[in-house]
Amino acid sequence: MSFNIPPPWIDDPEYLRHYHWMSRAIALAESAGQAGEVPVGAVVVDSQGEKIAEGENRRERDHDPTAHAEIIALRRAGQALATWHLERCTLYVTLEPCPMCSGAIVHGRIGLLVYGADDPKTGAIRTVINLPDSPVSNHRLGVLGGILESTCRQQLQTWFAQRR
């Protein structure tokens, strides 16, 4: 006997919100990939659910080693809100942040980080190291990983395969 059970998120407004903003981050990542950058996108949303900033990888275009999608989005969010205290914000990013970005996320006091795919090489949220929960962290970061994970992972794998 089988039951036709709808996915648990179909009526979950929180999941649908995460799906919406991660989809926007994926579109930004696509734009970065088309420009020759590693396809990573990020979106910052305020406590009212409004987008206040976004970014995509720009290291190659800007000749800037810090021009990761998360850093760009965090800088723009701070400028938009006229504060570096981002505790009422959610950051959506397609790939688990690296140590540099994880440090910036913690120091910016982001309230919630939502990411797509784990990064088995440099992931500093849960996969390789766990910077937010380490003794050096002065802020407890809420983390939700795996939102549209397969789409985010496939986007990266396809981009790298085309360059090899």
Quickly state the pLDDT bin for 5 (edges 50, 70, 90).
Answer: very low
pLDDT of 163 over the 90 cut = no
Q: Is 85 annotated as a binding residue?
A: no
- Exposed, middle or buried, 49 (CB in 10 Å: 0-12/13-18/19+)? exposed
Quickly state the pLDDT bin for 8 (edges 50, 70, 90).
Answer: low
Residue 4: per-residue pLDDT: 46
Active site residue 56: no
State the Cα–Cα distance between residues 145 and 6, nearest whole angstrom: 22
108's tokens: 């910016």
Q: Per the residue annotation, which of 37, 70, 87, 149 is the catalytic one?
A: 70
Query: Of residues 135 and 40, which shows the higher confidence score?
Result: 40
30's tokens: 């696509």
Q: Is 89 annotated as a binding residue?
A: no
18's tokens: 């995460």
The pLDDT tens digits for 52-64 are: 999 999 999 999 9
Q: Which of 54-58, 88-92, 151-155, 160-164 has the lowest mean pLDDT?
A: 160-164
State the Cα–Cα distance between residues 59 and 137, nearest whole angstrom: 26
Q: Is 101 annotated as a binding residue?
A: yes
